[in-house]
């Protein structure tokens, strides 16, 4: 059982919600979920090396996770208990509504019904491992996932590969239910602000946005799964320093900043900051090539929420270098 600290003194009325994890984890040691397969090796392997009781999680850090779970629970409840009334309110004809079945059994499938599957856990054996996955939504053979996230994630398209891999694993787990070659991600932005698109064309125009992603073939997906499981087996008992380090995407590293100083002897405050070296260099040349351009690496944030935090030397090195600031 996960244990929590309450250093920020979250009131009990809210704390009980944040400390409640109703996810249906599989306790079997040779079971691995689709979302776990997408994590870097350090996040998969190192948490098991932290003694029980040492891995306290700050309750306040659970807010985004629990809000995401609440959205999923609400969508599932709406479909299971109120889809008919909701679709009537939106003007759908009764002949369409009457055809919808929620989580139908295989023997109940006919050409006349429109099956909708919600939050079902799938499982498939591969070698000694049982790979599992719990999809959000399947409609008309198309898997769909709901992501509550910040606008930055969408704007920078940082998780596109993982979305494709996740949907592909779901299809590999049950290609009868999921037979379309694309998946949909429904972004629900937690920090969206009205009017921002006027200044930034890449900013989403609404608080929600749908984006489609191609899925890997079944054979490509099985090769990906097999390779990742082989790496997990290879490094499970390896010394911590030998486990491959997380890359910039795994670390949620922000973009670097290129700081231009017109007077190189005064570097307490930059003259101007740029998001690329090219523009900073142009400014440097315009000012007579006597200034200074300094690249400041992007900051790392993923380590703050990583279950391997207490056993990871890469995290220690990032703190020492200033790339990870613990506040």
Instruction: Give the 3-state secondary structure of the chain.
Output: CCCEECCCCCCHHHHHHHCCCCCCCCCCCCEEEHHHHCCCHHHHHHHHHCCCCCCCEEHHHHHHHHHHHHHHHHHHHHHHHHHHHHHHHCCCCHHHHCCEEECCCHHHCCCCCEEEEECCEEEEEECCEEEEEECCEEECCEEEEEEEECHHHHHHCCCHHHHHHHHHHHHHHCCCCCCCCEEEEEEEECCCCCCHHHCCCCCCCCCEEEEEEECCCHHHHHHHHHHHHHHHHHHCCCCHHHCCCCCCCCCCCCCCEEEEECCCCCCCCCCEEECCHHHHHHHHHHCCCCCEEEEECCCCCHHHHCCCHHHCHHHHHHHHHCCCCCC
Q: How confident is the model at residue 218, as a pLDDT?
A: 97
Instruction: Verify that 97 and 179 share a domain, yes or no.
Output: yes
Instruction: Verify that 227 and 252 share a domain, yes or no.
Output: no
Domain end (from 241, 260, 290): 241
Instruction: Verify that 171 and 275 share a domain, yes or no.
Output: no
Q: How confident is the model at residue 141, as a pLDDT?
A: 96
Instruction: Verify that 218 and 258 share a domain, yes or no.
Output: no
Band of residue 4 on the pLDDT scale cut at 50, 70, 90: confident
Residue 25 scores a pLDDT above 70: no
Model pTM?
A: 0.85
Q: Considering the domain boundaries, does residue 306 fall inside one?
A: yes
Instruction: Verify that 66 and 180 share a domain, yes or no.
Output: yes
- How many domains is the chain partitioned into structurally? 2
Which residue, 37, 72, 69, 45, is CA-closest to 216?
37
Q: Considering the domain boundaries, does residue 7 fall inside one?
A: no
Whole-Å CA distances, 203 to 156, 185, 206, 264: 10, 17, 9, 36
Domain end (from 206, 226, 241): 241
Q: Considering the domain boundaries, does residue 56 fall inside one?
A: yes
Instruction: Verify that 82 and 118 share a domain, yes or no.
Output: yes
Whole-Å CA distances, 215 to 70, 148, 195: 27, 21, 34
Instruction: Verify that 122 and 208 share a domain, yes or no.
Output: yes
Question: What are the tokens at 131?
Answer: 């790979």
pLDDT digit string (tens) for 70-126?
999 999 999 999 999 999 999 999 999 999 999 999 999 998 999 999 999 999 999
Which residue is it, tokens 């700050």?
A: 58
Q: Which residues of 93-121 are buried (b: 16+ CB within 10 A; e: fewer)?
A: eeeeeeebbeeeeeeeeeeeeebbbbbee
Q: How confident is the model at residue 6, as a pLDDT?
A: 84
pLDDT digit string (tens) for 176-223?
999 999 999 999 999 999 989 888 888 999 999 999 999 999 999 999
pLDDT digit string (tens) for 29-40?
789 999 999 999
Q: How confident is the model at residue 189, as a pLDDT?
A: 95
Instruction: Give the domain CATH number at 235.
Output: 3.90.320.10
Q: Considering the domain boundaries, does residue 6 fall inside one?
A: no
Measured in whole angstroms, the distance separating CA 191 from the mean position of its chain's CA atoms is 16
Band of residue 16 on the pLDDT scale cut at 50, 70, 90: very high
Rg (CA), the chain: 24
Instruction: Verify that 230 and 258 share a domain, yes or no.
Output: no
Residue 241 scores a pLDDT above 80: yes
Strand pairing category for 129-134 and 182-189: unpaired
pLDDT digit string (tens) for 311-320?
999 999 999 9
Domain carrying residue 279: 246-321
Instruction: Verify that 251 and 159 share a domain, yes or no.
Output: no
Q: Considering the domain boundaries, does residue 2 fall inside one?
A: no
Instruction: Verify that 217 and 308 share a domain, yes or no.
Output: no
Domain end (from 207, 223, 241): 241
Instruction: Verify that 272 and 215 share a domain, yes or no.
Output: no
Instruction: Verify that 236 and 250 share a domain, yes or no.
Output: no
């Amino acid at each position: 059982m996960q244990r929590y600290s309450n250093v920020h003194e979250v009131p009990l009325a809210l704390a009980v919600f944040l400390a409640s994890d109703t996810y249906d984890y599989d306790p079997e040691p040779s079971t691995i979920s689709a979302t776990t397969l997408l994590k870097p090796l350090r996040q998969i392997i190192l948490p098991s090396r932290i003694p029980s009781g040492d891995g306290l999680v700050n309750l306040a850090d659970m807010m985004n996770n629990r809000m995401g779970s609440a959205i999923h629970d609400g969508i599932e409840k709406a479909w299971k208990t109120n889809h008919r009334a909701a679709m009537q309110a939106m003007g759908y004809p009764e002949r369409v509504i009457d055809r919808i079945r929620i989580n139908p059994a295989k023997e109940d499938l006919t050409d006349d019904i429109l099956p909708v599957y919600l939050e079902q856990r799938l499982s498939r054996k591969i070698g000694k491992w049982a790979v599992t996955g719990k999809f959000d939504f399947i409609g008309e053979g198309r898997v769909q996932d709901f992501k509550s996230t910040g606008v930055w994630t969408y704007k920078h398209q940082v998780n596109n590969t993982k979305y494709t891999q996740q949907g592909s694993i779901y299809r590999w787990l049950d290609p009868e239910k999921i037979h379309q070659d694309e998946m949909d991600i429904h972004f629900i932005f937690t920090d969206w602000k009205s009017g921002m698109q006027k200044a930034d064309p890449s900013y989403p125009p609404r608080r929600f946005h749908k984006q489609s992603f191609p899925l890997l073939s079944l054979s490509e997906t099985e090769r990906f799964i097999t390779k990742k499981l082989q790496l997990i087996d290879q490094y499970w008992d390896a010394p911590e320093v030998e486990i491959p380090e997380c890359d910039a995407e795994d670390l949620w590293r922000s973009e670097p900043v290129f700081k231009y100083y017109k007077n190189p002897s005064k570097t307490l405050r930059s003259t101007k900051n740029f998001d690329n070296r090219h523009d900073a260099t142009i400014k440097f040349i315009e000012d007579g090539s006597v200034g200074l351009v300094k690249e400041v690496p992007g900051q790392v944030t993923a380590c703050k929420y990583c279950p391997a935090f207490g056993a990871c030397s890469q995290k220690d090195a990032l703190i020492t270098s200033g790339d990870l600031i613990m506040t």
